[in-house]
Structure 1
Amino acid sequence: MKKLCITTISILGTCLLSTYANAASFDCKKTVSWVEKTVCESPELSKLDDAMAEKYKSNLVTSSDYEDSKAFKDRLIANQRTWLNFQRDTCKSEECLIREYKEYSEEQTNYSVSWNFSDELSPSDLPSKNAFGKFSQKSQISIYNSGTQRWEDSGEATNTVSIHSVANKPYLSIIDGVLIFTNAHTCDLGESKAIWSENHWVINDDQPDKTVELRLYPALYKGQTQLLLRDMDDQYRRLHCGMRGYFDGIILEREVR
């Protein structure tokens, strides 16, 4: 039951905050982080948080319909943790949070807002030193042998993405890297210019008829700085990968020198 509010501006505001605080997917009385406090204090974000929680619960319920339901459920849980750590919890503005929540709940891409001039950014808006460097991931590569009609292990490959700083332009980087997948299909980033956008790097490789965007989210995860790749609308892969190559969802760990 909602509390009865006296119709004064101050108390009405307090009552509205209390109503929306109860709508969040976590206990607003126990918030610690800036992100959680912001979600609890914002009516729009509180509703979006509700929508996110409902979608996640619904996905968990329907996971039992799949043949390998346990593996599917485990993947859903892992993807949720990744979204929270790399995307939601790295935001520093309400606008950033709204974008991340809307993309999660509505499955519709809201393309990044990037800055081209450093004087538009405060020091807290700029990427940290851990957002630069070499990130890597080891993976086993299999190749199909048409003669024996079997998959054969061809050994271990190291996928790498390097983010290089640009002198006097802290909001800008040059990113290169090569990822190798099954049957030696590759994804090559070449040397791409990336611009910092609130909580991630964004590479735009737009085509005449569509927007092509690859995001790279750095975050502290499991005690190490790691990098999540998000291929918005799966368009970047189509331009830069072989048949079975992909970018979306890959996590690489920052190498410490």
Structure 2
Amino acid sequence: MKKLALATVSILGTCLLSTYANSASFDCNKAATWVEKTVCDSPELSKLDDAMAKKYKINLGAAPDYEDSKAFKDRFIANQRTWLTFQRNTCKSEECLIREYKEYIEEQSNYGVAWNFSDELSPSDLPSKSAFGKFSQTSQISIYNSGTQRWEDTGEAKNTVSIHSVANKPYLSIIDGVLIFTNAHTCDLGESKAIWSENHWVVNDDQPDKTAELRFYPALYKGKTQLLLRDMDDQYRRLHCGMRGYFDGTVLKREVD
């Protein structure tokens, strides 16, 4: 009887030491943020988080074995940090987290994620004031010189995106901007209507044979509100900017906080 009692105590002790029954890629007993606690509380999210971590580790270990491999790994780690900051950690619902994890793991977009009943959103569901404004980034422009067969720096250019509020409709915005790329190729975003979708603005341009979706994720990063651009499946720039315009993953800083 004593042995049985000791075994029972041991099992109970183990259960008490582990608050969460689900397994994630991190120690759930040290979960501090809402996102971490939600991941640990949900069996589905715990499995997705573990799958995300495994994929990240495999891809990081598959860095090319040459002299720039360190630079490759540094960029890969920075991209992971960007995904966590702007996409995963800005979610406020399980549905949002599931979408972000699945898109990361499956490397395919889940379209149509905008709110269906925007007029019924609560204040906590709406974008904050920092999700509006002018965002910009200064970048170096290079042009290929066919004579010397080299890329030559031609100076700096300022990429800008402005997100304007719409009166009496806080879930809507008008987004415009101009982005400049390699070979001084310019992409004008025009004036596009955007809908707030849990943690980002989304601009949809559905075509008969494809979906072009451009997302704008605002987040506090390094003490300043910044904006991540995500060109889902690389379709928006193909449709509007040509093959030379590439801006997926671009991060712009809000000019006035």
How far off is 1:115 after superposition?
2.8
Q: Is the 8 A contact 1:186 1:242 kept in 2?
A: no
Q: Does 1:129 align with 2:129?
A: yes
Q: What percent of counterpart residues are identical? A: 84
CA offset digits 1:154-212 (Å, max 9, x no partner): 21100000000000000000000010011111221100000000000000011111111
Contact 1:161-1:175 within 8 A present in 2 as well: yes
On the 8 A contact 1:115/1:171 being kept in 2, the answer is no
Matches within 5 A, 1:71-220: 71-115=71-115, 117-220=117-220
Corresponding residue for 2:246?
246
- The answer on whether the counterparts of 2:237 and 2:243 sit within 8 Å (CA) in structure 1 is no
Gaps of at least 5 residues in structure 2 are 1-6, 9-15
What residue number does 2:43 align with? Answer: 43
- Code of the residue aligned with 1:256 in structure 2: it is V
**Contact 2:19/2:29 (8 A) holds in 1:** no
What's the counterpart of residue 224 of structure 2? Answer: 224
Question: Quick check: 192-201 or 238-247, which moved more?
Answer: 238-247
Q: Give the TM-score taking structure 2 as reference length.
A: 0.89
Q: Determine the C-alpha separation between the residues in 2 that align with 1:29 and 1:112.
A: 35
Displacement, 1:16?
Answer: 10
CA distance in 2, matches of 1:242, 1:186: 10
Provide the aligned length of Structure 1 versus Structure 2.
245
Partner SS, residue 136 of structure 2: strand
Does the Cα contact within 8 Å between 1:17 and 1:42 map onto a contact in 2? no
For the 8 Å contact 1:118–1:170, the answer to whether it is kept is no
Mapped contact 1:66–1:72 kept (Cα < 8 A): no
Q: Hey, what does 1:18 align to over in structure 2?
A: 20
Distance 2:147 2:84 in 1: 45
8 A Cα contact 1:187 1:246, kept in partner: no
Which residue in 2 is equivalent to 1:237? 237
1:158 and 1:185 map into 2 onto residues whose CA distance is 13
Between 1:241-250 and 1:172-181, the stretch displaced more is 241-250
Q: Is the 8 A contact 2:20 2:29 kept in 1?
A: no
Q: Which runs of 5+ in 1 are unaligned?
A: 6-13
Q: How far apart in 1 are the matches of 2:193 and 2:26?
A: 38
3-state secondary structure, aligned to 2:139: strand
Asked if the contact 2:18/2:29 (under 8 Å) is kept, the reply is: no
Q: Is the 8 A contact 2:171 2:195 kept in 1?
A: yes
Q: 1:16 to 1:94 in 2, by over 3 A?
A: farther
Cα distance per residue 1:22-62 (max 9 Å; x no partner): x2111111111100000000000000000000000101111
Kindly tell me: are residues 15 and 148 of structure 1, through their superposed partners in 2, closer, same or farther at Cα, counting changes over 3 Å?
A: closer
Task: Give the Å deviation of 1:118.
Answer: 3.6
Could you say what secondary structure the match of 1:190 adopts? coil
1:96-141 Cα shifts (integer Å, max 9, x gaps)? 0000000011112111421365432111000000000000000011
| Map of 1:11 onto structure 2 | none
Indicate if the aligned counterparts of 2:20 and 2:28 stay in contact, CA closer than 8 A.
Answer: no
Deviates most, 209-218 or 104-113:
104-113
Q: 1:173 to 1:26 in 2, by over 3 A?
A: same
Q: Which residue of 2 aligns with 1:9?
A: none
1:17 Cα offset (Å): 7.1
TM-score normalised by structure 1 residue count: 0.89
